Structure 1
């Protein structure tokens, strides 16, 4: 009996104290450069296991996945498991110089992905510079064995991943933008499951096709990996029923289009109820600022049966590129399922109240520099007027080992100075942010309310904000400036959606709440990659609690070295 007790104790230690109810699965990710051809041109791209998009991972609620990441490429990489809370395990969350140093060429890192209450569609992607342009894939979390979906069981489940393609090397695109301070060059095409679609040159034969049978229902698991755009999506002649977002069930609602932010996932039921034929599914960007490709990517919905397929299937009419009303209306339609079987736990009160302004800024061009940003300056971005400066070693290691001088714990909980954030013309003296590597420390198990406030500096734009280590309840949103004395009375504390990525409307605000019960270092950032490159990110340090299950797990032995 003592031997068995010792054996199971060691097993729990090796498994990182994960719940024994879930299964442990092992996968291998080999990072390598592989030649790919799109749009009549070829180039070498960074891939996982030679696939673009990368492999789909599957698990069930409560499982643990161990992914051995082997870097055989010519550049540094990290992998982030987008939307996985990683309870007590920030070590393998993935953002470079936040929770780890990069996995260098010729080295390996075994990442443990601890699933907890997530259910539905998540995804994984590279989290270093702009490598996620080609390094990404789906992560599907199925219900526990024996549990059913809270909607009719689909005949099949189909990942639909929206992406982008540059004919030039993505590293050169980023390097040129950072050197000149300009907006990065727009992509040459958008993609559906790695294919541009036959609206682009040299793409007809490889257009992605979904085959359906009349009368059956299909679950589309949609992911937006596009680098800098909210995307509209629609299928000609078909309605869609939204049943989930960001690995949480939602109240079903029917729509003829989807607006999906970079980083977000949407689960959609498609009923194949039209005359058997071919129909286009199509996606185009929603954009109100910056460089972007004004193009449409397509795939084909093909019914089985005997019929003559049209040479040109019907193309859906998508919302206009600048249609902010359609984008905001879709986002505001999301509600948690909030049933007895799928309850919610939104904090009714907040112990900590934060207000973060989100701005695109301008630095003056330095002496002997040539800058191509707005007004011949250099683009920057900020949260509460702080432009994040990436450290040389990761913040998590510095926090865990009490290394000083890596970061400061004084990130402001409110804007350092107040002004009319959404006024028509913001004075230029308010355009310039401060540089800093600053974090916000949060007490363990405190209830946090965070209000994101967009500003109209340089005209303003939307910001899809993503919080690592947590899902949060979106309890309120509105236009103009947030009013703490008035706006909380309109919060939805009954069935707010549970998300990990939320689009903050242009010159508007969004309020989220979460309980800080996951100790560690967790990144918060805009999921428009150009804004991240300009510094729109910060980190939370959530303190440990007193009990053993409220403390971080120890670091893996093979953590990458700086």
Structure 2
């Protein structure tokens, strides 16, 4: 019976897309690749011997089939960041959440349909720090034969994938940090499409370049694939017109600067209307946490006007913001909205579940698995629960089988202690000495199918304040409001945008502040919500939602495919 259900669901996925739908098929060979950057040669993990890896190009309604063959020495999973995975939760990819890893020498085929999404998403490894080099773009165009973009058709499109580069082996970088109980070393450079740019040593030949024709319009599909840094992005001499984020259209917003957190995407139109010349596109770090060291390099690419003769003159440089320009970042994030809809708002107004989730960094006593740790180790938590990843079975498989001992269903709706969340002097209060220490556990929040959930995400300043990008798997959500300080419902509710709020899958919660999101739990399965600064994920800055099946076959999660990885 299980086999029949699986075949039936495969048929639904493959033929349920309607006219003009197709199957987009790829093979991802994950293996070692020797590269030389920043005067160093090293071996990285890459897909199909490329950095970035292959771009998946599809139309809304298409089915994507990706055969992942793991020829690397590491366990691997691939996450299709932002794809809803309706009834295909087994293909979502986070390690030990929806699947066990693909061990070296093995393979797994991811199958999923793209429904109700247009724009730019991306894929990346979801195991260890491997997504530093295992990533690529997903470009979703409107359904074939039905409609065009809701903006002028661009002359050409360019994926702009912002990355982060270490001269050291990234797996060793993470392991060293975990064993010592500290934070990992900073990266050595940022990259645009895998290239640091000619402002970085030994990188004159490693600069991404695009050629433009004067007067034409270009669509930049910008992805932040960096592990641990939000980034400012600019093109000297040009403005950008943002038309989509996270594969959801926005009301057009004109700006000379884009701010983009790890996990987020921004689609922006650029008109080539500057004087004929060469111009730098550039990205540099936005750092919201005070008194920390960071990668202060600037990665560059070059926009070359076709009518400009090749010259030795350097490209025009953009004026980048200060690394800690939080007002600029907040202005960008809060200026984005969805297009105005006619009639009733799309936002569900009845709320079934109210949650208030505090999150941030804390401390934990060194464990036996941290031989280089002295006294205390860095930790992180949500509602005073530091998330522990399973090791024997994925949460999704345990959910399907009703297995005991893998997780509990008691993730709290509110933090156990009410305090002055964003007061940076909080540690001077002896009555709150236990705040930095959170219990460790694998706890989920159970949700009824089709229930509406509102979550207040409240930053804490127990160790430091920071702007955290929070990503929810399996869903988009409405960003209703965001602000600084402690969330106060009596005043915050007045600022809620219930008419045309931004739709995202990753929200950048302001440093020392809060954000309110709302979503409908219409996708059965187990879905992780976590900080997309990878440094914080193994420390426990995560939780998961367990969404029940609905009343029909079309709202019931089918069993895993036959080649599902086993632990």
Is the structural similarity TM-score above 0.5? yes
Report the counterpart of residue 433 of structure 1 in structure 2.
438
Report the counterpart of residue 98 of structure 2 in structure 1.
99
Describe the superposition over 1:108-167 as per-residue Cα deviations: whole angstroms up to 9, x where unpaired. Answer: 101012211111000000000111000000001100123111111000010000001111
Q: How does 1:48-447 map to 2 (within 5 A)?
A: 48-146=47-145, 147-289=147-289, 290-339=292-341, 345-365=346-366, 377-392=376-391, 393-427=393-427, 428-447=433-452
Report the counterpart of residue 5 of structure 1 in structure 2.
none
In structure 2, distance between residues paired with 1:148 and 1:117: 14
In structure 1, distance between residues paired with 2:217 and 2:369: 62
Report the counterpart of residue 46 of structure 2 in structure 1.
47
In structure 2, distance between residues paired with 1:370 and 1:52: 34
- The range that moved more, 151-160 or 288-297, is 288-297
Displacement of 1:57: 0.2
In structure 1, distance between residues paired with 2:5 and 2:77: 31
Do the aligned residues in 1 keep the contact of 2:13 with 2:112 (CA within 8 Å)? no
Do the aligned residues in 1 keep the contact of 2:13 with 2:113 (CA within 8 Å)? no
Do the aligned residues in 2 keep the contact of 1:387 with 1:537 (CA within 8 Å)? yes
SS of equivalent to 1:337: coil
In structure 2, distance between residues paired with 1:478 and 1:496: 15
In structure 1, distance between residues paired with 2:424 and 2:7: 61
Describe the superposition over 1:304-330 as per-residue Cα deviations: whole angstroms up to 9, x where unpaired. Answer: 025353521111011110111111111
SS of equivalent to 1:530: coil
1:508 aligns with 2:503: no
Q: 1:295 and 1:327, CA in 2 relative to 1: closer, same or farther beyond 3 A?
A: same
Displacement of 1:345: 2.0
SS of equivalent to 2:41: strand
Displacement of 1:351: 1.2
Q: 1:534 and 1:367, CA in 2 relative to 1: closer, same or farther beyond 3 A?
A: closer
SS of equivalent to 1:531: coil
SS of equivalent to 2:251: strand
Report the counterpart of residue 477 of structure 2 in structure 1.
472
Q: 1:12 and 1:340, CA in 2 relative to 1: closer, same or farther beyond 3 A?
A: farther
In structure 2, distance between residues paired with 1:445 and 1:47: 39
CA RMSD in angstroms comes to 1.9
Do the aligned residues in 2 keep the contact of 1:442 with 1:516 (CA within 8 Å)? yes
Displacement of 1:11: 7.4
Report the counterpart of residue 14 of structure 1 in structure 2.
10
SS of equivalent to 1:15: helix
Displacement of 1:549: 1.2
In structure 2, distance between residues paired with 1:548 and 1:13: 9
How many pairs were matched up? Answer: 552
Displacement of 1:420: 1.2
In structure 2, distance between residues paired with 1:107 and 1:139: 24
Do the aligned residues in 1 keep the contact of 2:366 with 2:373 (CA within 8 Å)? no
- The range that moved more, 455-464 or 96-105, is 455-464
Describe the superposition over 1:445-503 as per-residue Cα deviations: whole angstroms up to 9, x where unpaired. Answer: 11110110001111211110000000000001111111223321220000001100000
Do the aligned residues in 2 keep the contact of 1:421 with 1:456 (CA within 8 Å)? yes
In structure 1, distance between residues paired with 2:208 and 2:37: 13
SS of equivalent to 1:459: coil
SS of equivalent to 2:64: strand
Displacement of 1:368: 12
Report the counterpart of residue 548 of structure 1 in structure 2.
553
Q: 1:468 and 1:490, CA in 2 relative to 1: closer, same or farther beyond 3 A?
A: same
Displacement of 1:350: 1.2
SS of equivalent to 1:326: helix
Report the counterpart of residue 524 of structure 2 in structure 1.
519
Structure 2 gap segments, 5+ residues each: 428-432
TM-score under structure 2 normalisation? 0.94
Do the aligned residues in 2 keep the contact of 1:181 with 1:379 (CA within 8 Å)? yes
Q: 1:13 and 1:542, CA in 2 relative to 1: closer, same or farther beyond 3 A?
A: closer
TM-score under structure 1 normalisation? 0.95
SS of equivalent to 2:179: helix
Displacement of 1:365: 4.1
Report the counterpart of residue 481 of structure 1 in structure 2.
486
In structure 1, distance between residues paired with 2:272 and 2:369: 61
1:560 aligns with 2:565: yes
Displacement of 1:367: 9.0
In structure 2, distance between residues paired with 1:64 and 1:344: 30
Describe the superposition over 1:414-471 as per-residue Cα deviations: whole angstroms up to 9, x where unpaired. Answer: 1112111112312332111110011010111111101100011112111100000000
Do the aligned residues in 1 keep the contact of 2:179 with 2:373 (CA within 8 Å)? no
In structure 2, distance between residues paired with 1:68 and 1:560: 13
Displacement of 1:12: 4.8
Structure 1 gap segments, 5+ residues each: 1-7
In structure 2, distance between residues paired with 1:260 and 1:372: 33
In structure 2, distance between residues paired with 1:188 and 1:27: 32
Displacement of 1:20: 3.6
Describe the superposition over 1:75-125 as per-residue Cα deviations: whole angstroms up to 9, x where unpaired. Answer: 110000000001011101000000000001111101012211111000000
Do the aligned residues in 1 keep the contact of 2:9 with 2:558 (CA within 8 Å)? no
